[in-house]
């Protein structure tokens, strides 16, 4: 028989209640005391009890992790003056680099200063030091800035802190600083070398003294290397004239030591997996960790074109829940080098039998920065970690002379180094990589066996990821990333030689393998990846954040201008707005101006028709064909002029966001045309137009995602 609680307490005696209360109170106190004791024991674990042997880490420590890129510098400082003092150096070469070119030049310059003048110099990532510490450098020191400009006059990611400090600081804290500035840029961009110009201007305003006039490299015609060599020659002359440096013939001095170590096991060695500052806080602000991502789709976008390819590829993020992207971000792909180029280098060096032996790489100077992993193998270095397909400069040829197998070979290399015409002629007949140059001069197998491996590591740049605008929407397919890439290859005039884009041909080989075909030009890549890490059709990739974003309000109007694969981010934009429209959300006016050669190159044509149907009158697609089958050629800037009345109205009266994606030359022409039309439509003078354009950029209503 059930007894209700109310009835039980009505029949219970007072003594029973008292005993029950005392029993419950005692149990509560005992339980609280036990919990408190356990909590105290946990808090003081490792202090009052269970103290770990302070040397227990030695059981798990790998001695090779103290070497090379994995080493943690002892007594590292963020004061650049203190760092120079520690290194007993007079010159610091500070680099701000997005793609690695400025970093490469900084490392080369610091080494050559040591070799030519016997003066200690260090190359330094500008983000590794407090910008204010530049003011601590004595007047006897020299700071050389090698900085790149990209996008809309933006500094490289590693320049952000220094840039902010330069822009926000006042007074004359750099009155003792003596500096030189060398800028890397592309004159096809509107803000050509803006970062170098701004850095020099701000240094001057803060009291610094320019040691020599600012110099600029222009990559519009691929002349960055030659411009660097000309500037370097002027710098060295100034060092001799003003600082009385004594120059002598350079003798190769390695800054790394390469040792074969058969005691290492496969578990100790990196065989080609991407490495780097994956857990660095600054890196994680802009990039996700790198993972092997499955390829879920790969298809050809060009129609009826046997000699040209455009790839649409989709990567699956499902296995990596921590990796996310937003519409407009970039995906970075890590390619591998083609098998043929790896074999050519190994044959020149006579190292085929030693390619898989574990090697350790040790830095001989703590101030030099090593951007390759250790321990590893020669096969992994040449296959994954070094840009062995990079073109060879005359400076590299000059350094290679001393290792030439014969005196005749030395004469041949010396001629290429000193005679610009001879070097240019060779460039016109073949694409000069380190392997092809060595083979051209001395083709016998093993002819270059005397070339130190350290020379190759110091000469060839580290492999860099290639970035592509994501062509999907994170709202529509949050766990799948799409990219769009035209495969780069061109024939050298009058020859059978072809120049192949590294990453796009890697992607083409991957796409071909999915359908069971071979690469159309016979290029082979290790698609299985290091130790099978990319089997089942995967690529190493990561996500890089971008500021190329849709407006927060879907109702805000947008104007998009693209040429070729520049349509990629706009595919994601339109997918997202179509989804919002289907959900009943109001979407703003959208105009897409898209240029390509002809209808065979009209990528995503069917999708755009479907999106037009979904978005109705909200979306207008305007095409421009530069090589039409029938009719006259038109470019996107021509269409901008034709539709200028509505475009100018959207920009000036509706605060529309304006986006350009494609080549820098196209973006420059579009900007000029739009400025002309605004001046005409609004009756503005040149100053008013420039003021309006600057305002659009300041208020984040003008966006560019362009390349050289």
CA 56 to chain centre: 39
The H or E element spanning position 495 is none
**Residue 277 pLDDT level (bands cut at 50, 70, 90):** low
Q: Is the pLDDT of residue 566 over 90?
A: yes
Cα gap 510→619, rounded to integer Å: 35
Per-residue model confidence (pLDDT) at position 14: 42
Cα gap 105→103, rounded to integer Å: 5
Cα gap 426→507, rounded to integer Å: 29
Mean pLDDT for the stretch of residues 671-677: 95
Q: Is the pLDDT of residue 580 over 90?
A: yes
Tell me the pairing of strands 310-316 and 498-500: unpaired
Lookup: tokens for 502 = 């590294």
Does residue 695 form part of some domain?
yes
Tell me what percent of the residues of the chain surpass a pLDDT of 70.
87
- DSSP 8-class letter at 270: B
Q: Is the pLDDT of residue 641 over 90?
A: yes
Question: Residue by residue, what is the 3-state secondary structure of 42-62?
Answer: HHCECCCECCCCCCHHHHCCC
Lookup: tokens for 459 = 């000469």
**Residue 169 pLDDT level (bands cut at 50, 70, 90):** very high
**Residue 133 pLDDT level (bands cut at 50, 70, 90):** very high
Does residue 126 form part of some domain?
yes
Per-residue model confidence (pLDDT) at position 419: 86
Q: Where are the alpha helices (DSSP H) in 376-466?
A: 378-380, 394-400, 407-418, 420-429, 434-441, 453-459
Q: Is the pLDDT of residue 64 over 90?
A: no
Q: Which of 242, 272, 288 is the last residue of a domain?
A: 242
The H or E element spanning position 485 is strand 480-486
Tell me the pairing of strands 215-218 and 178-185: parallel
Q: Is the pLDDT of residue 45 over 50?
A: no
The phi and psi torsions of 497 (rounded to 5 degrees) equal -75, 140
Cα gap 574→661, rounded to integer Å: 14
Q: Which of 242, 260, 291 is the last residue of a domain?
A: 242
Per-residue model confidence (pLDDT) at position 262: 87
Does residue 601 form part of some domain?
yes
Between the CA of residue 552 and those of 14, 657, 704, what are the distances in Å? Answer: 69, 11, 18
Residue whose C-alpha is closest to residue 144's, from 217, 198, 225, 199: 199
Cα gap 149→189, rounded to integer Å: 9
Per-residue model confidence (pLDDT) at position 35: 62
Tell me the pairing of strands 489-491 and 358-363: unpaired
**CB neighbours of residue 301 within 10 Å:** 18
Per-residue model confidence (pLDDT) at position 3: 39
**CB neighbours of residue 431 within 10 Å:** 17
Q: Which CATH number covers residue 193?
A: 3.40.50.360
User: Is the peptide bond between 210 and the residue preceding it cis, with omega within 30 degrees of 0?
Assistant: no
The pairs formed by 524-527 with CB atoms below 8 angstroms and a separation of 24 or more are 524/338, 524/339, 524/340, 525/335, 525/336, 525/337, 525/338, 525/339, 526/272, 526/336, 526/339, 526/383
Domain of residue 580, residue span = 558-707
Cα gap 206→143, rounded to integer Å: 15
The helix/strand/coil state of 332 is strand
CA 144 to chain centre: 23
Residue whose C-alpha is closest to residue 604's, from 301, 309, 328, 308: 301
Mean pLDDT for the stretch of residues 573-587: 96
Per-residue model confidence (pLDDT) at position 317: 98
The phi and psi torsions of 214 (rounded to 5 degrees) equal -60, 145
Does residue 670 form part of some domain?
yes
Cα gap 412→422, rounded to integer Å: 10
- Please write the tens of the pLDDT for every residue from 485-517: 999 988 887 777 889 999 999 999 999 999 899
Which residue's structure tokens are 């043929």?
A: 340
The phi and psi torsions of 6 (rounded to 5 degrees) equal -60, -40
Does residue 384 form part of some domain?
no
Burial class (CB in 10 A: 0-12, 13-18, 19+), 614: middle
More confident call, 705 vs 317? 317
Per-residue model confidence (pLDDT) at position 92: 96
Q: Is the pLDDT of residue 435 over 90?
A: yes
Cα gap 565→571, rounded to integer Å: 10
Per-residue model confidence (pLDDT) at position 514: 94
Cα gap 669→380, rounded to integer Å: 43
Cα gap 206→168, rounded to integer Å: 11
CA 453 to chain centre: 26
Residue whose C-alpha is closest to residue 180's, from 117, 228, 220: 228
Residue whose C-alpha is closest to residue 263's, from 165, 363, 358: 358
**Residue 53 pLDDT level (bands cut at 50, 70, 90):** very low
Per-residue model confidence (pLDDT) at position 48: 45
E-strand spans in 61-108?
91-96
Tell me the pairing of strands 154-155 and 121-125: unpaired
Lookup: tokens for 230 = 């000309």
The phi and psi torsions of 693 (rounded to 5 degrees) equal -65, -40
The whole-chain average pLDDT of the chain stands at 87
Q: Are 457 and 372 in contact (CB under 8 A)?
A: yes
Cα gap 493→329, rounded to integer Å: 37
Mean pLDDT for the stretch of residues 285-309: 91
Q: Where are the alpha helices (DSSP H) in 193-290?
A: 194-205, 224-242, 281-284
Tell me the pairing of strands 291-300 and 376-377: unpaired
Mean pLDDT for the stretch of residues 12-34: 49
Q: Which CATH number covers residue 634?
A: 3.40.50.80
Cα gap 603→300, rounded to integer Å: 9
Per-residue model confidence (pLDDT) at position 197: 95
Q: Is the pLDDT of residue 1 over 90?
A: no
Q: Which of 208, 227, 242 is the last residue of a domain?
A: 242
Which residue's structure tokens are 């400069």?
A: 393
Does residue 268 form part of some domain?
no
**CB neighbours of residue 327 within 10 Å:** 23
Which residue's structure tokens are 């699956």?
A: 316
Mean pLDDT for the stretch of residues 184-211: 92
Q: How many CA atoms lie within 13 A of 643 on its CB side?
A: 22
Q: Is the pLDDT of residue 7 over 50?
A: no
Q: Is the pLDDT of residue 21 over 80?
A: no
Does residue 518 form part of some domain?
no
More confident call, 47 vs 396? 396
- Please write the tens of the pLDDT for every residue from 358-381: 999 998 877 667 788 999 999 999
Does residue 650 form part of some domain?
yes
Per the structure, how many domains does the chain have?
A: 2
Tell me what percent of the residues of the chain surpass a pLDDT of 90.
67
**Residue 433 pLDDT level (bands cut at 50, 70, 90):** very high
């Amino acid at each position: 028989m059930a007894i209700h609680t109310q009835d039980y307490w009505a029949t219970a005696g007072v003594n029973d209640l008292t005993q029950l209360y005392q029993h419950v109170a005692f149990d509560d106190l005992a339980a609280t005391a036990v919990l408190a004791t356990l909590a105290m024991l946990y808090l003081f674990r490792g202090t009052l009890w269970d103290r770990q042997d302070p040397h227990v880490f030695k059981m798990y420590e790998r001695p090779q992790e103290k070497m090379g890129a994995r080493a943690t510098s002892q007594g590292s400082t963020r004061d650049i003056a203190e760092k120079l003092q520690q290194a007993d150096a007079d010159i610091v070469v500070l680099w701000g680099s997005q793609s690695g070119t400025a970093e490469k030049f900084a490392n080369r310059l610091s080494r050559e200063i040591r070799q030519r003048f016997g003066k200690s110099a260090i190359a330094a990532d500008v983000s590794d030091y407090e910008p204010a510490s530049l003011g601590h450098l004595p007047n006897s020191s020299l700071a050389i800035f090698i900085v790149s400009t990209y996008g809309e006059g933006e500094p490289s990611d590693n320049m952000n802190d220094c840039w902010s400090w330069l822009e926000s600081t006042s007074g004359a804290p750099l009155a003792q600083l003596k500096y030189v500035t060398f800028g890397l840029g592309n004159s096809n961009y509107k803000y050509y070398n803006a970062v170098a110009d701004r850095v020099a201007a701000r240094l001057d305003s803060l009291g610094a003294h320019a040691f020599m006039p600012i110099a600029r490299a222009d990559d519009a015609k691929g002349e960055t290397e030659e411009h660097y060599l000309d500037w370097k020659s002027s710098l060295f002359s100034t060092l001799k004239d003003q600082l009385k440096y004594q120059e002598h013939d350079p003798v190769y001095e390695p800054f790394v030591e390469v040792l074969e170590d058969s005691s290492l096991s496969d578990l100790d060695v990196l065989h080609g997996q991407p490495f780097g500052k994956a857990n660095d806080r600054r890196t994680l602000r802009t990039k996700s960790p790198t993972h092997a991502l499955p390829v879920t789709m790969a298809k050809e976008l060009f129609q009826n074109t046997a000699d040209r390819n455009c790839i649409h590829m989709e990567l699956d993020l499902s296995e990596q829940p921590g990796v996310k992207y937003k519409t407009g971000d970039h995906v970075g792909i890590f390619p591998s080098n083609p098998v043929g180029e790896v074999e050519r280098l190994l044959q020149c060096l006579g190292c085929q039998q030693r390619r898989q032996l574990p090697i350790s790489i040790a830095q001989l100077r703590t101030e030099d920065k090593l951007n390759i992993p250790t321990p590893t193998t020669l096969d992994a270095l040449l296959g994954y970690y070094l840009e062995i397909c990079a073109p060879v400069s005359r400076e590299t040829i000059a350094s290679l002379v001393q290792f030439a197998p014969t005196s005749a070979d030395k004469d041949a290399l010396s001629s290429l180094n000193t005679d610009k015409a001879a070097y240019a002629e060779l460039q016109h007949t073949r694409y000069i990589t380190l392997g092809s140059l060595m083979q051209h001069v001395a083709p016998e197998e093993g002819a270059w066996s005397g070339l130190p491996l350290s020379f190759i590591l110091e000469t060839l740049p580290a492999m860099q990821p290639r970035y592509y605008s994501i062509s999907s929407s994170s709202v529509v397919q949050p766990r799948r990333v799409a990219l769009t890439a035209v495969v780069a290859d061109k024939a050298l005039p009058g020859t059978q030689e072809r120049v192949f884009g590294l990453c796009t041909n890697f992607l083409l080989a991957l796409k071909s393998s999915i359908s069971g075909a071979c690469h159309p030009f016979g290029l082979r890549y290790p698609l299985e990846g290091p130790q099978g890490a990319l089997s089942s059709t995967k690529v190493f990739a990561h996500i890089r954040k971008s500021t190329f974003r849709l407006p927060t309000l879907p109702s805000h109007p947008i104007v998009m201008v693209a040429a070729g694969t520049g349509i990629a981010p706009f595919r994601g934009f339109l997918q997202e707005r179509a989804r919002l429209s289907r959900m009943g959300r109001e979407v703003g006016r959208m105009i897409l101006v898209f240029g390509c050669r002809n209808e065979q190159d009209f990528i995503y044509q069917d999708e755009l028709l479907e999106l037009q149907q979904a978005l109705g009158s909200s979306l207008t697609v305007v095409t421009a064909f530069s090589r039409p089958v029938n009719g006259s050629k038109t470019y996107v800037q021509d269409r901008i002029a034709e539709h200028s009345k509505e475009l100018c109205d959207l920009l000036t009266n509706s605060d529309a966001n304006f986006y350009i994606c494609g080549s820098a030359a196209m973006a420059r022409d579009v900007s000029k045309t739009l400025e002309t039309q605004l001046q005409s439509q609004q009756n503005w003078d040149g100053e008013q137009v420039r003021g309006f354009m600057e305002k659009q950029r300041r208020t984040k209503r003008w966006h560019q995602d362009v390349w050289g």
